[in-house]
A and B are shown apart, each in its own frame.
Chain A
């Protein structure tokens, strides 16, 4: 069922020779700091259809590129109604004055050619005020059913060149699709593009499924399933959609799994005699190791990007708090000291921050703190927010929000780590427990 994505022809990138020489004195650069509040205005005239019959695809791809950039909250698309001129044939000199006049700071031009099931997308990015091209023009070749990915790749390059940071648009999310009332909720594992497009289901709803987690390279998914009548961890192969139960250390129930960064180890919670501790299993050798050993609840472990440490939650102090320990276990350091309870810590892919769920005075928050617990910043507040996951570039967090009451429903949201740009991610049904996969190759 993954062929749609896999047939995408590995996104061949061909550098086109630059037609303008960069003489910019102050190159266009949007530095992502807390102070960035004003969105950068950009123009993206509809990409040209280079071959007859490519018009629809050119429209759609142009739209998705713009949606990606607008969706960050960092860029603001200038409507085409404001345009003074339209670009000439792709690659010919740009009339910068016409774009300066409408205050477009960045300009994206491009062309689309559809030949049978093959599609070619070319684009160039210009710094309008310095009148120069930013980087080289690029060309992506793929199949038409992967057209959204081509648009995301263009947007990723634009984002990356202007911000100096990696993009995150050509990525996928695995999550739990939810339907039905609260007391009869059906849950299925589903996968989708980062923006909610191309939803595909990976399991049926015959058993409760919880908290899927992508492997670092996106080839596998760990999740908890009640197929056996008891919570157990499954490993699902994304390409073949086949699954097998993870052999864990001896215990009644296993849940809350997460991969190590090399994808070879799984850390998880195991319940033995009513007590929950953290264990580690090596997938190749099948060896298990106990990492915590207390009568308290230890769960939600997450590796640091260098693999040397694990952040997790424990109620050993009396309430849920965050701790960091060595990847081999040992005495942990408590890092959360604010009011309230802290759970579901997730280490940022950059290594600098830990995202968490905080409960305080009957409200739930998604927040981030530095790895030593300082500079806590709450990004959201609602009746029930939980389960943060990081975009591959560590700039955006996705999480689940549940609304109150008998008719309560779940939905996925994203928020920038500055706390701005809270957005609902459109999914066909309710959604929870998102896990953001890597930027695709």
Chain B
């Protein structure tokens, strides 16, 4: 009885319902939609002013000038987005979104499995569509994420997930696309309580750990050569590295670690390598270019790693590496909730050298290329997923990143979430008038 009344109350007030759960997932796209009159930022560097962007059944069907669009048979439901900006959905790579809720609480943390080599561990099935973080990312234009396990030397396999869906099956975009490897640090850091400083000393286990990496790769190669074999879950999942169907994401922060890592991986038959690294990538940019290796960068808003570094080096890094001919994608680490600032990382990158459209690439088409999903997402092109959003203004600038619509594979997803609900609730309590 009590439950029944509660149910009624909830129905009567949909925002109260919203408070109890994450926003309701929506159905697959039914109506074809045409966004007309907006400035379209294609994601490949080009811009179409007064654009028309159409999609049906989850795929983009029209990308062009509004002057070229005629709505024959009223096929499309037209949304007037004049004065607004249209962007491809932003992609958040190398993220633990969906794997952790409150990082200080172990019970809510599914980011890493125990053990050093976990090539068989898969993040896809742990991606929690009920995570409250997800809708707050969407609110700022992040519509896809590479949900990524952490820890050990081989952390496991990441998958690309859409930020929408009833469950992980719904949300899955691309399965097991990359294996993440944390290259052993050449130097270990220790903390000195007396001076509150961090000191570096050589990692005594470096050679041993590198040897273990070489060994598991060699074992995987040997395993692949045998046709009649007993199942080995770890080696089995490593096949993808050797045949090129799985990307190896090499996390290495030191310039020499990058070189040693890439060389060892290539020598052992790894086909596709992406480096996750910071400023040290600059020292070896020629090496990365020669080996056609893209870089996933830590937050643009990071602090320089050394006192002597240019104070704006993390801000300028996307520009400097791009100038050096390297494909760059931006990512976030640290407090997960802050990943929603990804568009502003691109904005800052633009303040420090890049054009706005180039900066946009670092959170859209470049990232899609890096993750090997550029055939489907990353830019507004006919045939690609209708994963895009509309912003009142420049989405890379904080003041004007105000989304009016977001579509994931054509589904018009809900933007408001718990945070907006609480905003409204308490504004009401105080009798504040708010526009939105």
A binds B: no
Interface residues of A (CB under 8 A from B): none
Interface residues of B (CB under 8 A from A): none
